[in-house]
Structure 1
Amino acid sequence: MTVRVCSLITNGPQLIAPDTYTVVRFPYGSAESYDRYDMHPATQPDGYVVTDPENDDRAGLIWPAADGWGTLTAMIQWEAAGYTELRDQFVRDPLGLTDNPVDTTATDHRPPSPGMQCFTKHHEIFVHPGVPLALRVSHNDGAPRRLVLAEFKLAVHPT
């Protein structure tokens, strides 16, 4: 039984508007960290093709390669700014592309620390090939702020 892994990284930066959860987008090709099982395809399972990954939320989707127990991991780094709360979550079908409801999980609201904001998170859920996953972030500053680095990883353990 093979564990299937997808490991994405972006060093953007991505400008995130305040008070709105935003899908973190990840690059393709040589800029992609590891995707041996094609879980972060530019040509998506429904036929849609991501042509502008910097501006298309679909560039943030991981499509699990198999049914199984999914280990989700993320690393998030924000610029230092005037927020009092930083937010992040994992979400099933964040764009409403399937018949499954949008389903958020592992939502964290964090107070900032001095300097750059660096966080990691880990969560585990059941995953399915037809239901994409994403990492979403938000903040409560009065202006858009930069997400300067992010990683999003999925390991699918067969059940």
Structure 2
Amino acid sequence: MAVQPTFAELLAKCQRSAVHLEMRDGYMLDDPNYLAWRNGERPVPGSRPEWAHPWYEMVGAVISRGGSVRRARIVSEPISDYVRFEYDTTDVCNITAGEAVRWLPRRQASDLPLPGNDYWLFDDGIVLFNHFDGEGNATFRDTSSDPAVVELCRHAFEAVWQRAIPHHEYRPA
């Protein structure tokens, strides 16, 4: 069995585009940043929290090479606490890093063909699937460069992106 490249390795090699489709309503509910948010800590608009600095560096490297990083989130409404946390931290984490982020209410995605797992697609050539247990904990990742899988993920992301609402326009229910 071949060794799977890590997310960081794939993003470091990315030249043109990295897209991420998130379809769950909760992830890693024991994340210290989420727990701090649940305890009332909120990001300061315009700040660059220390915990996000590695993300700024990784995304910034793609942007500096002329690439783009886009993230689309399919969410149930009313949104979960975890999705509210993501929404509240998107400006200081994702947008500040250089990502474009959009939100699609799940009821507007019913007729879209979507892969069964969240994924990253790098340079329209390799897909990194993220697998989670029922509680949102990451269990493993695997990659595919199969042209049919890449095309499914590329098409799914673009279909979601077309319908999705830009972060600064989205008002969660």
* TM-score interval for Structure 1 and Structure 2 normalised by the shorter chain: under 0.3
Q: Which has the higher contact order (CA 8 A, sep 6+)?
A: 1
Higher strand share: 1
TM-score, normalised to structure 1's length?
0.27
TM-score, normalised to structure 2's length?
0.26
Higher helix share: 2
